[in-house]
Amino acid sequence: MHYICRKKGEDTKTVNMKENSDLQLSIIIPVYQVEKYVRPCLESVYKQGLDDEVFEVIIVNDGTKDRSMEVIQDIIDKHKNITVINQENQGLSMARNNGMAIARGEYLLMPDSDDLLVENSVKPLLEKALETKADMVVAEFVEKSDEEIKCDSIPQRNYQQIESTGKELYLNESLLNHVNIWRTLYRRLFLQENIITFIGGIYFEDIPFTHQCYLKAKKCIYSNTLLYIYRTGHQTISAASSFTMRHAHDLCIAIAKTWELRNMEGLSNVIKKKHTDHIYDRYKYLLYRILYCIPEKKHKIEAIKVLKKYAPDIKFTNNTKQILTSLLFRNVPAFYISLYLFRKKYLASYPNKSV
């Protein structure tokens, strides 16, 4: 095993290890405050029917304060293909970036440390990736609670796959509604050549990362293979567990960076229209969270203005509702918030009404 210690701001190039062209896969697992869940996650990695010689595991200890690293120490000691990065807390996005910086596998897989890989699911996906040299291999996932994970078996599916470009997959509603990086094997060379990394220090980092990958990938494989078990019903340090002004600020940055992708060359009008719809969906989520999770009206208005600051040219034009939304957002954010607060109050008073 290897241990690397990194401080904030350290150049990632200084810790790159010798390239090994025989490595097929790098599995990067950030660890922070997941004492209860990290062991099952790591155990699932070693239930994939893969020889240790063909893949590596990079565990990024993001300054966890609990016993997360202690409970997996025996697994770390057992396997020589594990590298541990010990770093000060820098957040999920930088943990992944630092893991990617030293990764040597042809493909990358980045599960969250509180979730699980479906047993023996990685091998056929990796074999297909290596055969086709696809930029991305996108698979399916299932959501399960702790109790369901203990009791339920994973349903079997007839193995199906579709080869397409990233832009063609981008038009698939179900895929882009779940912009989760952990359902995909990424070719490392594809990420490097397109300089695709995570925005450091923010929540919602998977939104711009995933959209950029889909829009730039020339060859993709979509498979209905169940790769991943997303654990539900528990509290972890995540953007989904609460929503504060910090979350609003970071989501505004993520939306703005994703909006900038409209300037890429070679995007058809159909793709641009779909891109606008995707951003509008994220914007509606932002607005919903601002309205229901941030208590004071002045802070709600402030959060809306953050998006105006980072994305001054953002404009939704695909239908009448989007056009009206853009006008209110750009010109009278205070009235915009008041209108939605009135709508919220009205619906609470008349639950059978819709506005």
DSSP calls for 81-128: TEEEEEE----HHHHHHHHHHH--SSEEE---TTSEEPTT-HHHHHHH
Tokens of 233: 């019903």
Say if residues 95 and 112 touch (Cβ distance below 8 Å).
no
In order of start, what are the domains of the chain with their CATH numbers? 2-232 (3.90.550.10), 245-345 (no CATH)
> For helices 333-349 and 269-293, what crossing angle results, to 10°?
70
In angstroms, rounded to a whole number, what is the distance separating the alpha carbons of residues 136 and 175?
Answer: 13
What is the number of alpha carbons within 13 Å of residue 98 lying toward its C-beta?
32
pLDDT at 138: 94
User: Comparing 27-31, 35-39, 210-214, 325-329, which segment has the lowest mean pLDDT?
Assistant: 325-329
Task: Give the residue-averaged pLDDT of 63-89.
Answer: 96
Q: Is 189 helix (H, G, I), strand (E, B) or coil?
A: helix
Cβ 248 vs Cβ 286: under 8 Å: yes
Note the pLDDT tens digit of each residue in 50-62.
999 999 999 999 9
Instruction: Please name the amino acid found at residue 77.
Output: D
Query: Tokens 């239930």 correspond to what residue?
Result: 47
Query: Band of the pLDDT at 329, cuts 50, 70, 90?
Result: confident
Closest CA to 68 of 114, 99, 102, 107: 114
* Rounded Cα gap, residues 355 and 250, in angstroms: 29
Summarised one tens digit per residue, pLDDT across range 240-259 is 447 899 999 999 999 999 99
Query: What per-residue confidence (pLDDT) applies to 236?
Result: 44
Residue 152 is predicted with a pLDDT of 64
Per-residue tokens: 47: 């239930």
Read off the pLDDT of each residue in 210-228 and give the average, rounded to a whole number.
94
Q: Which amino acid is at 161?
A: Q
Cβ(90)–Cβ(10) below 8 Å: no
Q: What is the largest CA-CA distance in the chain?
A: 66
Task: Report how far residue 327's alpha carbon sits from residue 323's, in angstroms, rounded to the nearest whole number.
Answer: 6
Q: Which whole number is the average pLDDT over 283-305?
A: 84
What token pair was written down for 140?
């399916």
CA angle 281, 287, 291 (to 5 degrees): 150
Least trusted range by pLDDT, from 10-14, 187-191, 317-321, 335-339: 10-14
In terms of pLDDT, which residue wins out, 345 or 54?
54
Read off φ and ψ for residue 67, nearest 5 degrees: -95, 20
Question: What per-residue confidence (pLDDT) applies to 239?
Answer: 42
| Distance (Å, whole) CA 87 – CA 74 | 20
**Would you state the pLDDT for residue 324?**
79
In the numeric block, which tokens belong to residue 277? 């719809």
Amino acid at 293: C
Which pLDDT value is given to residue 6?
A: 60
Q: Is the pLDDT of residue 13 over 60?
A: no
Q: Are 197 and 249 in contact (CB under 8 A)?
A: no
Mean pLDDT of 338-346: 55
